[in-house]
Structure 1
Amino acid sequence: MKRNSIYLLMMLLVLSACSNDDDTLLDPIEEGMDMSYNEVLGFKKDKAKYNPGEEVNFSVNGTHQNTTVRYKYLGQVIAEEPLTGTSWTWEPPSEDFRGYMVELVKETGGEETVIGTVAVDVSSDWTKFPRYGFLSKFGETTAAQRASVLNNLKDYHINGLQYYDWHFEHHRPLPLDENGAPAESWNDLFNREIYFATVEGYIEQAQERNMASMFYNLLFGAWKKDEVQPVPVEWLMYNDRNHKDINRHILSGFGDIQLTDPANNEWQEHIFGETATVYENLEFDGWHLDQLGNRGTVYNYEGYKIDLGEAYKDFLISLENRFPNKKLVLNAVDQYEQKEILEAPVDFAYSEIWSRYQYQDLAQVILENYNYSNGELNTVLAAYMNYNSQDGNFNTPSVLMTDAVIFAFGGAHLELGEHMLSSEYFPNDKLDMSVELRNTVREYYDFHTAYQNLLRDGGSFNFPALQSQDPDVKLNNWPPVVGQAAVVGKQLEDRQVLHILNYDGAATLQWRDDSKVQREPLVKDNFRITVEAERNISKVWFASPDINGGASQQVEFTQSGNQLTLEVPYLKFWSMLVLEY
C-alpha cells in the first residue's frame, strides 16, 4: 500500500450507526402508519457469518401484528414463521457457502409490505466470499468502545478485518520486553501510541462475531528512523548493481522504509521468525502482506536483477509452507505483478486501484483477477472514494455507483472500518458518512451477502440481447454510457442473471469522483423490456438493493420462441433480474 505521510489525523471516530448496540425494546408500533419500506424494526443478527450447523440469533426493537419472517435462498422461500417477539433463533440448512435473505413481511388488507431485511452468510471459510474491512486506531480503548466498532461492522457482514499499522517496526512488528513478553505499548512509524491490550481485545471480540483478523505488514520492509542499520545490508534491494543505492520509501520527517529482497532466504527466515512471535502472542488468522508497487529495475546485493513477481511468489510459497494454517493475501498495488501473486498460495485477490479511473476499469480488474486465479479466487478492491476531497461528507451517489459495479462483477470493496475509507492512510477520517449513506450502504451489503451465490460463486459473464420497449429507458451492453443504463449478464448452470446499472443522469464515469460531482441517476419504474432467451424460462424474479431492502419479488413474463417480454419493477442505481430454466 502506498504510504502518504501528509495525512496524520489522529482523532478517534467510532461509528455508532444508529445505536447498533442499543438493546432497549420498544413498544409495538401502532397500526395504520405508512408502511412504505423502512428498516423501522432495527432488524439484526448477531454475527458477521455463520458456520454450517450454527444457529442465527435475530433481534428487532419492536413488533408489528400480521408480520411474517420469511427465509429465502435465491428468491425461493425455504421457511417462514410469524414474528411473535423481539428475539428468536433460526438454524439454516446445513449446506456450506450459501447466502440467504431473511425478510420481515407485513400483511395489511391482503397486501404484503417488506418492513425489514437482513442477509445471512453460512460459510465455513470467510475467504470464499471475503467482505473485508479494516481497523486502524489502537490507542487505549474500552471493551465497550471496541464492541461498538465491531457491532457496526458486523451489521455490514464484514467477515475479515485488516489491522492497519498496528505494528512497531516492519522488520520487528511485535516488540518484546526484557522477559520476552509483548510490550504493553509502542509507537508506530508515525508515532501513534499502540496498545497491545487494544489489539488483543479487538481480535478476541472479533472472534465472538465470526470475524477474522489479519495483521498488516510489508513483506519486504525494514524500518530505519535513525543511524542504526535495522537489517544486514546483504538482505536489501538496490537500484544499482554495486549496492550503493538502497531502494527505499522515504517518509519525510519520520524515517525511511528500506526494502529487502523478498527472495533472500536469510530475510525470509528473519521475518518468518518475527511472524511466529506475532502468532505466539496474538491470535491473528493470517497476514495481510503489502508491497509498494513498481520499484523500477532493482538488484540484490550480489548485483543480480530481481524479478519481483517471481520473488513475491517465492516468498509466499515459503510463507505458506511455514504457516500452513494461516491465511495469506498480498496487495497488488495498481495490479503490479498480480498474475504472479495469484499463482502463489493466497486465499483471495486484493488490488489497490490507482491508475484505472473509470467504472469499467474496476470491472476489468476483477475479471483479470478471476482469470489469473483460474476462476478460483474472489477479489477485494481497495478503491478510495472522493480521494482529493478534504472535508464534509462522502458523495452518496459516487459510493453507491462504485459499490454497484464492484458487487455486480463479483468483487468486494474495502471501505468500512472505524470510519469510511478515503485514502491509503487508513487512520485518515477526513470525510464522514451521512445517515443516508450508512443506511443505503448497509442495504448494499445485505444484497451482496444474500445473493453471493449469484454474484461470486462461479458462472461466466455474457451479454444477452436485451431491448427496452420504453422510449424513456435507453439500454446498452456494458461498458457504461452517460444517459443510458448498462446491462451485463452472467450465465450459471440453471439461471441467467441480468444486471442493469443506471447511468442516466450521471455526471461522470470516473468512480473516484474527487470533486464529489456525481449525481443520482434518474429513477425508472415499471418499464418493459424484451430479452433473448435460448432456453425455456420457468420463472423470473427481481431484486435490487435500492428498493425493499433487496427483497426478491417474482415477475410475470411471456415467452414466444426465444423472446421473453417482462416488466422491470424499478431501477435507480442497480437492479438484478434472474431468469430460471
Structure 2
Amino acid sequence: MMKAFHRASTAAAHLAAGLLASTGLAACSAAGSQPAAVRPPAPALLVSATTDKAAYAPGSTVLIKADLSNQSDAAIAGARLTLTVRHLEQDVGPPVSAELRLDAGAAGRVQFAWTAPATDFQGYSFELAATDSAGKPLASGTGAIDISSNWLKFPRYGYVSQYAAGADAQAVVEQLKAYHINALQFYDWQWKHHLPLKGSPTAVEANWHDIANRTVSRDTVRKLIDAAHQAGMAAMAYNLIYGAAINYQQDGVSPAWGLYDAPGGKQWQYSLPSSWATPGLYFFNPANAAWQDYLIGRELEVFQAFSFDGWHADTVGDNGIKYDAHGDPVDIKDTFKPFLNAAKARLGSKLLMMNAVGNKGHLQVNTSKVDAVYVEVWPWEGFPDYLSLKNVVDQARQESGGKSLIVPAYLDYDYAKTKSEQSPGQFNDHGVLLTEATVLAAGGSRLELGDDGRMLCSDYFPNRALAMSPALKAALQRYYDFAVAYENLLRDGQAAAAGTVSIAGQAVSADGQKDTVWAFAKADARYETINLVNLKGLVDVSWRDTNATQQKPAALGSFTLRYYSGAQLERAWVASPDAEGGRSRSLPLAHGADARGAYVEVTVPGLEYWNLIYFRKTV
C-alpha cells in the first residue's frame, strides 16, 4: 500500500535559496561565449538541474543546483529562477525563487537548499523555471529527489569496473549520481575469487592483478567506496559463490569440496582466455559446509579491510547435474538457498544479494534471506521479448514479498562484437528506451550504467565496445528522473489490476504484441495506474535488439482512451519521461458505459515510448 502523503506544512516546506559563489552570477566569466554570427538575437538560457546526492534520509537537507548558461548577446537582468517541488501531482510547499542576472555569454550556478519531509521512501520531482523581468518564461530544467533511508526499496543499481591507480573516484561517482544511482556493484575488484584479498585484512597489498590480469589499486577501490558513500550510494563487493582459481589447494581449499562433471571425473570448470591470471575457474559445492565456512570467512575478511556495504554474489547459471566428491548428484539450483542463508547468518549488518542467472533457481533465491533480488536474463533462457521482462519482474516481486527486481539485460549484444574499445559503436537509442520503459513500468530497474559514462553491452563489465550518444545519455537521465519522481506509483506495493484499456482507432494488447499499444494496469489503496508502452509499427519485440536494428515506434498524437475498471475514480493525470520534463498533466475525466461495461474516458495528448496514466480513487 502506498504510504499516505502529507502536505509539507512543517520543516519539509522550508526552502532556502542563495547563490553558490559569493561573487554572484553576474561576475561569472564569459569565456564560453559564441561568435556573434551564430548567436540567437534574443536571450537564450540553458538550465541544467542536479542534486548533491543520489538519495537522502528523511529530514535531511537537499542541495539543488541549477547550472545556467546565457547563450545570447544580451545580458539577462531582473530575471528570477523559481523552484517548485512536487510529489506526484501535488506541490510540496510554496515555490521559492532567487534573483537571476547573467552577462552575455556567461555561465553560473544558483543553489537551493530544501529540507526533506520526514516521510520515508518518497519520490519527488522539481522544476526550475527562469523568467525575465516581465515574467516571461526564459527556460526551465527538471530533476528528481529520492527520500529513502536505504536503497533497497527503490534500487537503482550501477557498477564500477576500473581500478587503476590515480583514477578520479569523485568524477566517476559524480557522473553516476546524475542518474540517481544509489548502489554500485564493484565488479572484478578482487584478487582471486576464492581469496579476494591480497595480503591480510589489516595489511592489504597496494596493488594486485584481477582475474583478467588488470592492475587493481587498493587506494582506488577505497576512494571509490568513500566517494559512493558521500554521494548517498551503497558499495557492494562482487564475488562468485563457488569459484576458485588454479592452485587453490595452496590457499587452503580442498578438492573434496568440489563439484565434478561425473562421479570420479574431472572437476567442473569454466575455461578462460590464455592471457588471464588463471586458465579457468574451478567450481565448488555451495551446499558443502566446509566450503561455506571457507568462502564466507574470506568475505568477512573483505569487510574488515574495506568499508563495503555488502556482498554481490554471482553464479554462472544452470549447467545441469554435477556431482560431489562422493559421487552424489548435485542440482546447483538446490544449493542456492542453503548457501545464501548461511552467508546471511554470518554477515551481520552487511547486505547480501545474488544473481540467479537466467532466473534458474529463482524460487530458492527469492525466498532466501537476500536483501535484494537480481536476475541476469538471456533470450535462450526463456526471456526473448518485452513481455518476458515484465513477467520476471512480476514473479520476483511476488516470490520475494515485494522486492523490486534488478535486471541486467545486455543490449545490442551481437552488434557490440563487431566493435572494440579502440573503434566503438553506438547503442541504438530506440531499443534501449523501449527496454528501459518496459522494466521501469513493470516495477523493476536495470543494471546498465557504469564508470566512464558507459552502458553494458556485455556480461563482462569492462567491455567498452559501445558508447552512448549524448542524446541517449540525456534521455536516460530523464528516465531515471522519472523513475525517482514516480517511484511511489511504479514500485511501492502496487498489484496487477483487472482493468482493461481501449484506445480509439488503435490496436491495444495486454501482452506486448508487435504493432500495438501495450497497456497494463496496476492499483494500490489510493491510485490505479495504466502503463502504455508504444510498440506501434514495430515488427520485432525482442528486448535485446541484438543487431541494433530496433525501430522507433510510431508516435501517436492526441487520442481517446477508455479504462474499464470497477473502481470509483475521480481524477486523472498523465506523465511521461518523453514529454514536458516528466511533469504530471491533469486530464479531464468523463464517465460512461458501453457493451464492455462502465468506463472512465480521458484524452491523452500523445505517446512516444512510454506514458504513465494515473487515476485517484474516490475516498
TM-score after normalising by structure 1 = 0.89
Q: How much does 1:104 deviate?
A: 2.3
Q: Which residue of structure 1 aligns with residue 145 of structure 2?
A: 120
TM-score (norm 2): 0.84
The answer (yes or no) to whether the contact 1:99–1:452 under 8 Å persists in 2 is yes
Q: Which has the higher contact order (CA 8 A, sep 6+)?
A: 1
Which residue does the alignment assign to 2:270? 249
Range moving further from structure 2, 184-193 or 254-263: 254-263
CA distance in 2, matches of 1:33, 1:531: 45
1:136 is displaced (CA, Å) by 0.5
What does residue 367 of structure 1 align with? Answer: 394
Match of 2:305 among 267, 281, 289: 281
1:305–1:403 CA distance, 2 compared to 1 (3 A): same
- Provide Cα deviations, 1:483-529, integer angstroms capped at 9, x if missing partner: 22111111111111011111112242111111111111122222122
The alpha-carbon deviation at position 53 of structure 1 amounts to 1.5
Distance, in Å, in 2 between the alignment partners of 1:23 and 1:437 is: 35
1:80 maps to what in 2?
94
- Output the CA distance in 2 between the equivalents of 1:151 and 1:482: 38
**Mapping 1:25-174, distance limit 5 Å:** 40-62=46-68, 65-84=79-98, 86-105=110-129, 115-142=140-167, 145-174=168-197
1:281 corresponds to which letter in structure 2? A
What is the alpha-carbon distance in structure 2 between the residues aligned to residue 74 and residue 234 of structure 1? 57
Q: Choose which of 212, 218, 222 in structure 1 pairs with 2:244.
A: 222
Cα 1:238/1:226, change in 2 over 3 Å: closer
Match of 1:7 in 2: none
- Aligned equivalent of 2:610: 574
Cα pair 2:320 2:331 within 8 Å, conserved: no
Q: What is the alpha-carbon distance in structure 2 between the residues aligned to residue 489 and residue 475 of structure 1?
A: 16
Query: Is contact 2:125-2:143 (8 Å) kept?
Result: yes
Aligned match of 2:541 = 509
With 438-447 and 515-524 compared, the bigger mean Cα shift is at 515-524
> Which of 179, 200, 204 lines up with 2:222 in the alignment?
200
Aligned residue in 1 for 2:494: 459
Which of 432, 438, 441 is the matching residue for 1:399?
A: 432
Q: For 1:301 and 1:513, how far apart are their aligned partners in 2?
A: 43
Question: 2:221 and 2:135 mapped to 1: Cα distance?
Answer: 53
Q: Deviations over 1:80-122 (max 9, x none)?
A: 3233160011012101111111122456899879821111111
In 1, the alpha carbon distance for the partners of 2:386 and 2:449 equals 20
CA distance in 2, matches of 1:574, 1:206: 31
Distance 1:25 1:568, change over 3 A: farther
8 Å contact from structure 2 (residues 444, 491) kept in 1? yes
Which residue number corresponds to residue 10 of structure 1? none
Q: Which moved more, 1:475-484 or 1:442-451?
A: 475-484
Once the two structures are aligned, what percentage of the paired residues are identical? 31
Which range is displaced more, 268-277 or 399-408? 268-277
CA change 1:187–1:545 in 2 (3 A) is same
Determine whether 1:536 maps to 2:568: yes
In 2, Cα distance between the equivalents of 1:534 and 1:262? 49
SS of aligned partner of 2:449: coil
Provide closer, same or farther for how the CA distance between residues 519 and 33 of structure 1 changes in structure 2, counting only shifts above 3 A. Answer: farther
> What is the distance in 1 between the residues matched to 2:41 and 2:599?
43
Q: 1:365 Cα shift?
A: 1.0
Q: CA deviation at 1:226?
A: 9.0
Q: How many residues align?
A: 549
- Contact kept, 8 Å, 2:189 with 2:216, in 1: the verdict is yes
1:542 and 1:105 map into 2 onto residues whose CA distance is: 21
Distance 1:362 1:530 in 2: 26
Q: CA deviation at 1:464?
A: 2.1
Deviations 1:359-384 (A, max 9, x none): 111111111211221x3211000100
Query: SS of 1:580's equivalent?
Result: strand
Give distance in 2, aligned partners of 1:233 and 1:537: 64
Distance 1:516 1:52, change over 3 A: same
Q: Which amino acid aligns with 2:304?
A: E
Instruction: Give the C-alpha shift of residue 316 in structure 1.
Output: 1.1
- How far apart in 2 are the matches of 1:480 and 1:103? 33
Q: Report the CA distance between 1:225 and its aligned residue.
A: 6.4
Q: Distance in 2 between matches of 1:541 and 1:40?
A: 28
Q: Which residue in the other structure is 1:490 paired with?
A: 522
Distance 1:501 1:312, change over 3 A: same
- Give yes or no for contact 1:58–1:89 (8 Å, CA) kept in 2: yes
Conserved? CA contact 1:25–1:62, under 8 Å: no
Q: Given the alignment, which residue of 415, 422, 434 partners 2:448?
A: 415
1:305, distance to aligned residue in structure 2 (A): 2.1
Distance 1:23 1:318 in 2: 55
Answer whether contact 2:439 2:445 (CA < 8 A) is retained. Answer: yes
Secondary structure of the structure 2 residue equivalent to 1:90: strand
In the aligned structure 2, how far is the partner of 1:26 from the partner of 1:420?
A: 35
Task: Find the aligned partners of 1:511 and 1:537 in 2 and give their Cα distance.
Answer: 34
How far did residue 320 of structure 1 move? 1.0
The answer to whether the 8 A contact 1:161-1:213 is kept is yes
The counterpart of 1:327, out of the listed 347, 351, 360, is 351
**Change beyond 3 A, Cα 1:496–1:169:** same
Following superposition, the deviation at residue 32 of structure 1 comes to: 9.1
- State whether residues 47 and 139 of structure 2, in contact with CA within 8 Å, keep that contact through their aligned partners in structure 1: no
Distance, in Å, in 2 between the alignment partners of 1:129 and 1:113 is 34
Q: CA deviation at 1:560?
A: 3.3
1:430 maps onto 2:453 in alignment: no
Q: Provide structure 2 residue ranges, at least 5 long, that are not aligned to the other structure.
A: 1-20, 34-38, 70-75, 100-109, 420-424
Matched with 2:479 is 444
Q: Deviations over 1:163-199 (max 9, x none)?
A: 000000011001106x950010000111100010010
Distance in structure 2 (CA, Å) of the matches to 1:251 and 1:26? 56
Q: Distance in 2 between matches of 1:245 and 1:463?
A: 53
Give the Cα–Cα distance (whole angstroms) in 2 for the partners of residues 578 and 541 of structure 1.
Answer: 5
The structure-2 alpha-carbon separation of the partners of 1:464 and 1:183, relative to structure 1 and needing over 3 Å to count, comes to: same
Secondary structure of 1:389 counterpart: helix
- Unaligned stretches of 5+ residues in structure 1: 1-21
The CA deviation string for residues 104-162 of structure 1, in whole angstroms up to 9 with x for no partner, is 245689987982111111111201111100000111124xx221111111110100100
Distance 1:528 1:269, change over 3 A: same
Structure 2 residue matching 1:276: 3-state secondary structure: helix
Counterpart check, 1:384 vs 2:410: yes
Taking only aligned residues, the RMSD between alpha carbons, in angstroms, comes to 2.6
CA distance in 2, matches of 1:311, 1:125: 29
CA distance in 1, matches of 2:608, 2:43: 22
Find the aligned partners of 2:23 and 2:609 in 1 and give their Cα distance. Answer: 34
Query: Residue type of the partner of 1:439?
Result: A
Kindly state the Cα deviation for residue 324 of structure 1 after the two structures are TM-superposed. Answer: 2.0
Matching residue's letter, 2:49: F
Shift of 1:539: 1.2
Within 2, Cα distance between the matches of 1:113 and 1:409?
36
